[in-house]
Structure 1
């Protein structure tokens, strides 16, 4: 177990233990009409989130569950370390402070007091979340924090979320057909995928907001990482970019999953390729998803970025 991840690993281990003790009906709570896993997202924490004061130099990355947030988080942290050129002493000091403050791995995870404790973190903070803009604190937009919106095609997101949902005791177990129905109606943790994309589409032209797609990051990591670095104002060499690509490959992250995230790491990384949805969706479910996408996201800028015809058509 990596010492610098101990507090996060302990938090995730407790999430798994507590989740296994709850009945299916007890595992989810509701906040503003959206479901959240009760063992890690308390309504009082979500309510207290409004008090969080974002900084202009914060990096906030948001992605719907199973769109690659752990992957991009790892990339962003590596970019920050390389761009700022932290010394070993500085890196250890930042890690020690995060551990002492008990900063959890997602903005909405943990206790309401975490937002006050986060004020003690030095800049530049890398903040990861699954939240829509209406739940994020207004300070994120008022203070023009850099926001990266991570998206993935809905069919692969659905397939990955289904497998994850049934492996992690934090969530109520569902059959494929049950989960498909809940996903399409937004009755899953963190709510509707379609609402997530549609709500973030309203902000995508803001100068401090950019989008990243799972598929493009996977297919052309060099180009995408350079684009992200430019957006964040980082100056990285070709060798540094290549180093990040190698360290953040799916194979490497899967191998290091337990060290990074403990037992949860073994549950998180499964296949990591594009097109896995073809193993699960029936013809009628494919057609239903096609209709849903056309109704909600066709004509939006983020909908266009998803390249639905390329990644979601058989």
Structure 2
């Protein structure tokens, strides 16, 4: 069976250009398109049903890409909840989802090439890495796209208000009398980690609270294990904090386990607030106070934006910031006066 990669090799054009020509994308010149179509006819290329009718009809499929080089991916409750919300609302519009395999890169094919070949009507990207070239390639293409959990000025993006979330956590701890507040951050190269650090720093500055040496610890890729390691560093300080804002619930759970093993009572000795409001947060002991991300609203808004682009047949550049909410449970307490 002749593939677009065979056509690319024969014509000398990239497989992306071949896909675009076969799908009648406007950013391919008439001369190039005709050369590719002539070669396709000559070689007996048979396009799939979706691609064959893409210029006149919908395929009723949406491509889903997870940027998983950051090792988070679908296993994280936040991302799985967002994509479940997106799936549920996309299906109400009559769409099926096609999840791109992580092995595409090993086969020498880009995500964009894969989605163009499959004839999807649009793409949703779940991504925290603003420097991922595969994501940028899809943003630069003419296909409808929505990016979740990343800021970008060249496409439709939907993300939580991480800046306000950081401030919400610090203001809450301050209202309980805490001034020695540390932060276990997510990886700063990840969008969410970066902005939550900024939210923490801005709020501390606004309250005129010093960030003491060692109070900002990189918790890495939001795992329980890395949260535990970060907590050890904070508790080893000569002057440990009385409260900690942790950039993810998994890390916060790891931090709580370490604190308890080292003889600290939560929240009597130290207050801990997380971020995400994953299901596990309400089952640990003590139940975790956290900043809730509205995963359902993120999925709904992403669906609406993508549907609008598909219907209008043009990309929309917009930024949708979804509010976050403080969920009070048992892991924070008013600081005892000495």
Is the structural similarity TM-score above 0.5? no
Structure with bigger helix share is 1
TM-score normalised by length of structure 2: 0.29
**For the pair shown, which has the larger CA radius of gyration, 1 or 2?**
2
TM-score normalised by length of structure 1: 0.30
